[in-house]
């Protein structure tokens, strides 16, 4: 088989058929984006944004987004963002970034973020870091991530991200859907994930569970995250964090993140951010009762 790794988002789009549902969604988003105002962006809050990839044809959009967001926001590290919510003191609009799954093009994202004094936590699957077997990579992308074949970071590159001032976090060994596994299997995986990252990166307090919706997680999974060394837990449920002066225990904090694809229209990206900012409540800081 010829080895080919995707390098352009336009090629990702070519592989995904444009559906009627997708076209309607795009039109609806454009209409909603036209109605939303920047006012919500002034709201003091901690806003976690997350991406998966920064392909070559998405680099300029990341720069444009950083320029746009810097007008209203202070960029802080993931750890600082967590601390602000835990202390109950959020006095200004803050943004921090993260990126999941450990694609090699995260290096480019890291460079661009650093240039704008922005910071990210990169959530990686240690079982895929440094993987060079093309068939294994293709299978992981296709079967587990439902994505075209892309290159992954190696451990040297993960160290480079840290040297640039970014953070590394856990995302299970091989992108496990935690909701489908027993407590024993989850504990074994999270133990290996934490220990592997500890060996290569030093302590990594942050964890984001794969797939990210609440139904991809479980009570036993949540307990296992904290039992195996991690001290924070992130979802991919949309929302921003505001506080009312009350401190929160780290294990009680449910981090919400707004997913962004840099290949989207800027107006659509800004719609999601503005909408989450406008709707932020202190209830967003806690896990739903189904996970407690
Ligand atoms: Zn993921």
Please determine, for residue 17, whether its predicted confidence score (pLDDT) is greater than 80.
no
Percentage of the chain lying above the pLDDT 90 cut: 90
Alpha carbon of 193 to ligand 1 centroid (Å): 14
Mean pLDDT, all residues of the chain: 96
CA 128 to ligand 1 centroid distance, Å: 12
- Residue 23 pLDDT class (50, 70, 90 cuts): confident
pTM (predicted TM-score) = 0.96
Q: Is the pLDDT of residue 1 over 70?
A: no
Q: What is the pLDDT of residue 28?
A: 85
Q: Is the pLDDT of residue 97 over 90?
A: yes
What 3-state DSSP class applies to 38? Answer: helix
CA of 240 to the centre of ligand 1 (A): 20
Which residues fall inside 5 Å of ion ligand 1, going by CB? 100-101, 210
Q: Which of 134, 212, 126 shows the shortest CA–CA distance to 174?
A: 126
- Which band of pLDDT confidence, cut at 50, 70 and 90, is reported for residue 212? very high
Catalogue the E-assigned strands of the chain: 45-51, 74-75, 93-100, 120-124, 167-170, 206-208, 232-234, 254-255, 258-259
Ligand 1 centroid to 34 CA: how many Å? 31
CA 283 to centroid of ligand 1, rounded, Å: 25
Among the residue ranges 13-22, 79-88, 137-146, 280-289, the one predicted with the least confidence is 13-22
- All domains in the chain, ordered by first residue: 36-291 (3.20.20.370)
Q: What is the pLDDT of residues 242-291, one digit of tens each?
A: 999 999 999 999 999 999 999 999 999 999 999 999 999 999 999 999 99
State the distance from the centre of ligand 1 to the C-alpha of 144, rounded, in angstroms. 9
Q: Give the Å distance between the CA of 56 and the centre of ligand 1.
A: 20
Q: What is the mean pLDDT of residues 45-65?
A: 98
Distance 211 CA to ligand 1 centre (A): 5
pLDDT at 21: 82
Q: Is the CB of residue 137 less than 8 Å from the CB of residue 149?
A: yes
Whether residue 14 is predicted with pLDDT greater than 70 in this model: the reply is yes
How far is the CA of 99 from the CAs of 29, 127, 207, 220, 231, in angstroms?
Answer: 23, 17, 12, 25, 18
Half-sphere exposure of 108 (CA within 13 A, CB side): 21
């Amino acid at each position: 088989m010829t080895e080919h790794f995707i390098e352009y988002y336009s090629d990702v789009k070519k592989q995904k058929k444009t559906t009627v549902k997708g076209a309607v969604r795009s039109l609806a988003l454009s209409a909603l984006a036209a109605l939303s105002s920047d006012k919500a962006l002034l709201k003091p809050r901690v806003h976690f944004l997350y991406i998966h990839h920064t392909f070559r044809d998405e680099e300029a959009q990341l720069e444009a987004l950083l320029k746009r967001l810097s007008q209203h926001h202070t960029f802080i590290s993931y750890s600082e963002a967590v601390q602000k919510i835990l202390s109950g003191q959020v006095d200004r609009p803050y943004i921090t970034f993260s990126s999941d799954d450990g694609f090699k093009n995260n290096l480019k994202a890291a460079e661009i973020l650093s240039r704008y004094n922005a910071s990210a936590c990169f959530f990686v699957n240690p079982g895929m870091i440094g993987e060079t077997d093309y068939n294994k990579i293709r299978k992981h992308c296709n079967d587990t991530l439902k994505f075209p074949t892309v290159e992954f970071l190696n451990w040297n590159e993960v160290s480079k991200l840290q040297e640039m001032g970014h953070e590394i976090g856990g995302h299970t060994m091989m992108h496990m859907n935690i909701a489908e596994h027993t407590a024993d299997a989850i504990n074994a995986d999270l133990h290996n994930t934490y220990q592997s990252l500890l060996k290569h990166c030093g302590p990594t307090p942050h964890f984001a569970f794969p797939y990210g919706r609440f139904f991809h997680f479980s009570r036993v999974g949540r307990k296992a995250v904290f039992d195996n060394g991690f001290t924070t837990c992130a979802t991919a449920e949309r929302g921003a964090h505001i506080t009312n002066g009350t401190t929160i225990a780290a294990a009680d904090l449910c981090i919400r993140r707004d997913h962004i694809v840099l290949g989207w229209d800027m107006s659509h990206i800004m719609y999601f951010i503005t909408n989450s900012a406008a709707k932020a409540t202190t209830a967003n800081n806690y896990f739903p009762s189904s996970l407690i």
